[in-house]
Structure 1
């Protein structure tokens, strides 16, 4: 979910008549019944936490929270469920908008002294006028590691499923980076903790913003360096080695996990 290259973020763009509106309520996005985003002025809708986000091809973009009833002719859809409904560029921009609106909601008061915060005029941040504490939108780095063994047609991928995954779905291993930890160390630690396997040949692949709720996914591949599978019960429900020709149900197409698994399965 990457915001489009033609989007120019800015905190100084005021909402106007033809603004593109991303209006959320508890992670759900307001859409017209035909699946299109609303356009207009934010004050035409029952909203608060209004955040001018920038320009998309010259069009103002605004994020806000729905503070009243769903207007006639509109519906709320879970953000994940808008994949394939919204064009890919707008789907990515929705991921940006929901994080800014949620950041606004959770940082209305200073975390140090409780004073109401004010929006910075020069950057995307909130500043306490009393003690000067500055709060930026939260981004939590998450490493994802796809462990492999074997070569060619006999190559296998280590895939696992968490207790809250969709039925039958498996993915690569992943976990949050801890304070004072490198990405490389986090990869080794997470794989060891979750499935008891050691890894070697760690290789960075690509990254993806993941607004569920505020992560940056950083994908790696690695080779099996030994160890029997020993699952961390509170994190991993099941795990196993899968042939590249007989993979289980995978995460949705817009996820970095799906891209990572399919890239490796093709031998890239």
Structure 2
């Protein structure tokens, strides 16, 4: 869910009849009944938390929160559910828009003195006019580790499922980076905590913004170094080794977990 290269962030946008509007209500995106994004003046909708986001191919882009009922001719769809309905660029931009609107909602008041904050015109930040505290959009780093063992057709992937996963779905291990940790230390700690095994040969693969609600997923692969599976019951419902030719149900195609698992399964 990466915003497109042609998008230019900007905090100063003039109203426009062809503006693209990303309007949310409780994590759901407002779409026309034909599945397209609303366009036009954001003031034509009953919204608050209006955020000028930038320009996409010369068109202004705004994010906002819907207040009240869904307008006639529109519908609300969970953001995850619009993958394949919106283009890849618009899907990525929707993720960015949702994070900015949610950041605006949760930072309307200063966390130090409770004074209402104001939006900076120089950058994407909110500033307290009383004490000067500056709040930037939150980005929480999450490491994801796909542990492997064996070679060729006998190669196995260590996959697990959390208590809230969709039925039958398994994924790579993942967890938030803690204060004063390196990414490498977080990988070793999370694998050890969640399934009780040790790893070696840690290798960075790629990363992906994940707006549910404000994460940056950082994907690694590692080789199994030893230990028996011992699951952390609060985090892991089940885990096991799966041969690359016989994998369980995987996360959705737009997720970094799916890309990581398929990349390794294909021998890359």
TM-score clears 0.5: yes
Matched with 1:90 is 90
Matched with 2:149 is 149
Shift of 1:35: 0.1
Shift of 1:14: 2.6
Matched with 1:215 is 215
Matched with 1:242 is 242
Determine the C-alpha separation between the residues in 1 that align with 2:15 and 2:83: 26
Determine the C-alpha separation between the residues in 2 that align with 1:52 and 1:12: 7
Determine the C-alpha separation between the residues in 1 that align with 2:105 and 2:40: 22
Aligned length: 268
Q: Is 1:125 paired with 2:125? A: yes
Q: CA offsets per residue over residues 40-93 of structure 1, 9 Å max, x none?
A: 001111001000000000000000000121110000000000001111110000
CA RMSD of aligned residues (A): 0.5
Partner SS for 1:225 = strand
Q: CA offsets per residue over residues 107-139 of structure 1, 9 Å max, x none?
A: 000000000001111000000000000000000
Matched with 1:60 is 60
Shift of 1:218: 0.0
Q: Is the Cα contact below 8 Å between 1:162 and 1:237 reproduced in 2? A: yes
Q: Is the Cα contact below 8 Å between 1:112 and 1:133 reproduced in 2? A: yes
Q: Is the Cα contact below 8 Å between 1:15 and 1:52 reproduced in 2? A: no
Matched with 1:110 is 110
**TM-score normalized with structure 2 length:** 0.99
Matched with 1:13 is 13
**Structure 1 outlier segments of 4+, above 6 Å:** none
**TM-score normalized with structure 1 length:** 0.99
Matched with 1:186 is 186
Partner SS for 1:39 = coil
Q: Is the Cα contact below 8 Å between 1:15 and 1:62 reproduced in 2? A: no
Q: CA offsets per residue over residues 6-26 of structure 1, 9 Å max, x none?
A: 000111123322110000000
Partner SS for 2:63 = strand
Determine the C-alpha separation between the residues in 2 that align with 1:101 and 1:160: 32
Shift of 1:182: 0.2
- What are the ranges of 5 or more consecutive residues in structure 1 without an aligned counterpart? none
Determine the C-alpha separation between the residues in 1 that align with 2:15 and 2:202: 46
Q: Is the Cα contact below 8 Å between 1:15 and 1:61 reproduced in 2? A: no
- What are the ranges of 5 or more consecutive residues in structure 2 without an aligned counterpart? none
Q: Is the Cα contact below 8 Å between 1:19 and 1:39 reproduced in 2? A: yes
